[in-house]
Amino acid sequence: MDLRQLIEEYYRDCKTMQLATVSEGKPWICTVYFANDDVLNLYWMSSRSRQHSREILQNPSVATTVVRDIERKQALQITGQAYEVADEDLARIHGLYTEKYGPKDYDLAAMSRHDPDGRAYWVLKPAEISLWDEVNFPDAPKQVYAPGDK
């Protein structure tokens, strides 16, 4: 089984991820809807005033999990760096997001004004993706993929 292909299937099949951040040694976790690009980056929309957004601005190291099937024990655990999407990438990321969820009436011009209480697109660039998959790997369910792998 090709790990990258399997990760892409998880991304396609799932809509939400649990995003973990940390501030002053105290962890925080929330659930967000996500989209992805062809290099396995994850994107979500969130207000800059949300706790996880504020914490990412202070510490970009994050972790997330994407659960495909609880009963069959299929999930991804991902670590990496997160940050706000650059203004020049907003339209492209908005396209990925609306491709997955349908048309959304988000004001990209307002996002580029960087209002502290406004919405923003965020990205997680994975450093490592761990799969826990008892269906495809019953004898060794934990598999590790580094996005630089081919």
Walk me through the domains of the chain, giving residue ranges and CATH numbers: 3-145 (2.30.110.10)
CB 16 within 8 A of CB 30: no
Instruction: Region of 61 please: left (phi>0), alpha (psi -120 to 50) or beta.
Output: beta
pLDDT of residue 55 exceeding 80, the answer is yes
pLDDT of residue 150 exceeding 70, the answer is no
- The overall longest dimension of the chain from CA atoms, in Å, is 51
Q: Which residue shows structure tokens 């203004």? A: 87
- pLDDT by residue (tens digit) across 87-114? 999 999 999 999 999 987 888 888 898 8
* Mean pLDDT of the residues in the chain: 94
Q: Which residue shows structure tokens 């609306």? A: 98
